[in-house]
């Protein structure tokens, strides 16, 4: 075979191979978006067979397995992702989520801490490490992470809401109420906050404040507040 023809055929097959792999990845991603997880996993596996050193195949298959609640399989793929690309932060993030689902809390905390050493202001990792600490029974460390996150960004209603929920678990009702006041300001569409605040005021025998919050909840059509309001507030 002539050298020019050989080179042409090699280039042709290489292009065809690359095109096939790219198409598999596109189809797998589409199947994932459509929540057809079985098809997506089959396609990602085919892509990995063609591209065993491409971390994207393992990572994408891992996220699909995570969505399909196959946490052990997902953890395995995220670990493989990190073997190929050890600085890929998203793989640490999702492997940690898998480990929390598998109740491997210390392993999850280790993954999150690994990233936070070099990125101490990463809000997403502070939030998930707080969740892992809380699930592991260490609410004080969870609170430290949420405190740090709020110091970094003071305008996140979600962070105040998370910290308020944690303070309720820690029986810090006054602290929870302060945080829910911030939630009320930062998340004005979250009307359930009035019902929650009413319940907290009731716990500390501040019935007048509780009734004011229940009434605000009812004004915003939070129907679950009606019974508690009727039982505790004078007509």
Q: Which of 200, 154, 150, 205 is nearest to 180 (CA)?
A: 200
- Is residue 223's pLDDT more than 80? yes
**Distance between CA atoms of 55 and 51, rounded to whole angstroms?**
9
> Confidence band (pLDDT; 50, 70, 90) for 19?
low
| Domains in the chain with CATH codes | 25-102 (1.25.40.10), 191-235 (no CATH)
- Is residue 4's pLDDT more than 80? no
- Is residue 6's pLDDT more than 50? no
- Is residue 13's pLDDT more than 80? no
Q: Which pTM does this prediction carry?
A: 0.87
Sign of CA dihedral 9, 13, 15, 16: positive
pLDDT in tens, 109-139: 999 999 999 999 999 999 999 999 999 999 9
């Amino acid at each position: 075979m002539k050298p020019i023809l050989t080179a042409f055929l090699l280039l042709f097959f290489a292009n065809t191979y690359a095109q096939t792999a790219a198409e598999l990845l596109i189809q797998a991603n589409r199947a994932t978006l459509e929540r057809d997880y079985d098809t997506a996993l089959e396609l990602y596996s085919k892509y990995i067979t063609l591209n065993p050193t491409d971390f994207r195949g393992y990572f994408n298959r891992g996220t699909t397995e995570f969505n399909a609640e196959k946490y052990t399989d997902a953890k395995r793929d995220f670990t493989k992702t990190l073997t190929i690309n050890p600085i890929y932060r998203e793989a640490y993030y999702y492997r940690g989520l898998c480990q929390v689902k598998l109740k491997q809390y210390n392993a999850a905390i280790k993954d999150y801490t690994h990233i936070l050493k070099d990125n101490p202001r990463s809000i997403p990792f502070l939030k998930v490490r707080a969740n892992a600490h809380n699930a592991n029974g260490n609410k004080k460390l969870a609170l430290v992470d949420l405190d740090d996150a709020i110091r970094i960004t003071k305008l996140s209603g979600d962070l105040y809401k998370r910290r308020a929920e944690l303070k309720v678990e820690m029986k810090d009702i006054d602290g929870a109420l302060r945080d829910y006041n911030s939630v009320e300001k930062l998340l004005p569409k979250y009307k359930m906050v009035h019902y929650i605040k009413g319940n907290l005021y009731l716990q500390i025998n501040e019935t007048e404040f509780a009734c004011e919050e229940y009434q605000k909840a009812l004004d915003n059509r939070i129907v679950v507040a009606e019974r508690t309001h009727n039982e505790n507030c004078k007509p």
